[in-house]
Amino acid sequence: TLTHSLRDHVQALLGGDPQLRQLNAVVNLCVALSMELLSRKSGGKFLCNQQGLATKDLAFDAVAELFQRDDAGRFAQFEAYFESYPPGTTSEDELLIALRRLVYSRTNHALYRMYREVDPVLFKILRNVKLAVERMQQFREVDRFGEAHIVPVTCETLEHLPAFEMDELENRLLTAALGNENIPRLLGKLALVLKQKSENARIVPLIGVAMMLRAVYAGLAPAKDTG
C-alpha cells in the first residue's frame, strides 16, 4: 500500500508542488523504511530507551531534513538525489530501492548525530573505532542489511553461523586485557578472539563493538585512555 503510485508521488515532489496526500504518502513511506532499519539496529533501541522515544518518533526525526524546502520552496535534497533515478524512466521497484538507500543513509547519519548528543563517551569510542578500522586495517567495514559491521581481515566471515553474544566477547576481552590498552590494541585482541573461534559468525555490528568497548573500559580500573 505504501508503494502504490510511488512514481507519481516522487514526480510530484520533484516538481515542487505535490498535493498533500502525495507528500504524506512519501513521508509515511520514508518513516516506514527508517523504522524498518531502526528495528534491526541495537543502536536504535539504545537511543529510544535513552530518550524515551518510540521508534516512529526516532524515524521521523531521522528523515525530517529530507523534506525541508529551499528558498524557492523546492525539495532540493530529493531533486539532487533523484537526478540519478529519473522517475519517468525508472520502475517503481527501482525507485523503492533508491529511496530505501537514501533513507537508510540519513537514518544512520541521524543515529551518529544522536549518539554525540545523548552519549558523548559512546560517540567518542565509536568515532575512534571507525578511525582505527580505517588506519590499522585489522578489520574491514561491511554493510549488512543497512547497518555497519566489521569483520577481521584474512579470514572467512562465517555469516551463516550464529552471531556472537556481545557479553561473551566482552568477557573474553576483559580476560585478555592487561589494563593499559587503547582502542586499536583492544580491536587487535578482538580480531584474535573472532579468528580463534569457528563456531560463530565473525562479523559484528560497529555500534555493538563501541558499546562493548565502553563496558570493557568501565570494567577496568582505573578508566583507561579511549583514544
Give the angle subtended at the CA of 113 by the CAs of 215 and 226, to the nearest 5°: 35
pLDDT at 30: 94
**pLDDT confidence band for 227 (50 / 70 / 90):** low
The model's pTM is 0.71
Most confident segment among 1-5, 86-90, 160-164 = 160-164
Q: How many CB atoms lie within 10 A of CB 222?
A: 6
**pLDDT tens per residue, range 143-154:** 877 778 899 998
What single-letter amino acid sits at 113? R
Q: What are 32's three cell numbers?
A: 516506514
pLDDT at 118: 81
* Mean pLDDT of the chain, nearest integer: 86
Give the number of residues written for the chain. Answer: 227
